[in-house]
Chain A
Amino acid sequence: MNGLDAPILPTPVAWGLLIAFSILWVALGWWLGRHNRSAEDHMLAGRNVGMALATATAMATWVTANTTMTAPQLALQLGVWGMLGYSLGALGLILFAPLARRIRELMPRGFTSGDFIRLRYGTFTWRVFLVVSLIYAFGWLVSMAMAGGVLINALAGIDYRVGMTVILTVCVVYTLLGGLRAVIGTDFIQTVIIIAGAAFIAWLTIDRVGFEAIHFNLMEERPELLNLLFPAAIMFLFNNLLFGVGEIFHSNVWWSRAFAFGRNVGFRAYLLGGLLWLPIPIVAGFIALATPALGINVPAADMVGPLVAAEVLGLTGAIVVFIVVFAALASSLDSLLAATSDLVTRDIYRGHIRPQASEQNQFRATKVIVVLLGLLTWLAASYRGELPIIGSLAELLYFTGAFVASAIWPIVAGLYWRRANPRGAAWSMILGSGIGLASYFLIGFYVAALVGAAVSLAVMVLSTWLAPRPFDWDRLARDDVQPKGSPA
Chain B
Amino acid sequence: MTISSTALMFIVVVATGVATLTPILLLALFIRDWKKGCLW
Known: A51-B29, A56-B26, A226-B3. A203 touches B39 (CB 8 A): no
**Min CB–CB distance B3 → chain A (angstroms):** 5
Interface string of A268-298 (1 = CB under 8 A from B): 0000000010111011001001000000000
Complex contact B13–A199 (CB within 8 A)? no
Which residues of A does B touch, CB under 8 Å? 45-46, 48-53, 55-56, 59, 80, 84, 87, 181, 188, 191-192, 195-196, 198-199, 202-203, 206, 211-212, 214-216, 219, 223, 226-229, 262, 276, 278-280, 282-283, 286, 289
A residues in contact with B38, CB < 8 Å: 48, 50-51, 262
Contacts of B12-28 to chain A: CB distance below 8 A:
12-16, 18-20, 22-23, 25-27
Tally of A-B residue pairs with Cβ under 8 A?
104
Report the count of interface residues on B (CB-CB < 8 A): 29
In the docked arrangement, what's the CA distance between A385 and B23, Å? Answer: 37
In the docked arrangement, what's the CA distance between A289 and B14, Å? Answer: 17
Complex contact B33–A53 (CB within 8 A)? yes
B residues in contact with A84, CB < 8 Å: 11
Complex contact B3–A80 (CB within 8 A)? yes
A residues in contact with B13, CB < 8 Å: 206
In the docked arrangement, what's the CA distance between A50 and B36, Å? Answer: 10
A residues in contact with B4, CB < 8 Å: 215
Complex contact B12–A286 (CB within 8 A)? yes
Known: A195-B23, A228-B1. A49 touches B15 (CB 8 A): no
Complex contact B26–A202 (CB within 8 A)? no
For A49, the closest partner residue in chain B by CB is B40
B residues in contact with A48, CB < 8 Å: 38, 40
Complex contact A192–B23 (CB within 8 A)? yes
Complex contact A202–B12 (CB within 8 A)? yes
A residues in contact with B27, CB < 8 Å: 192
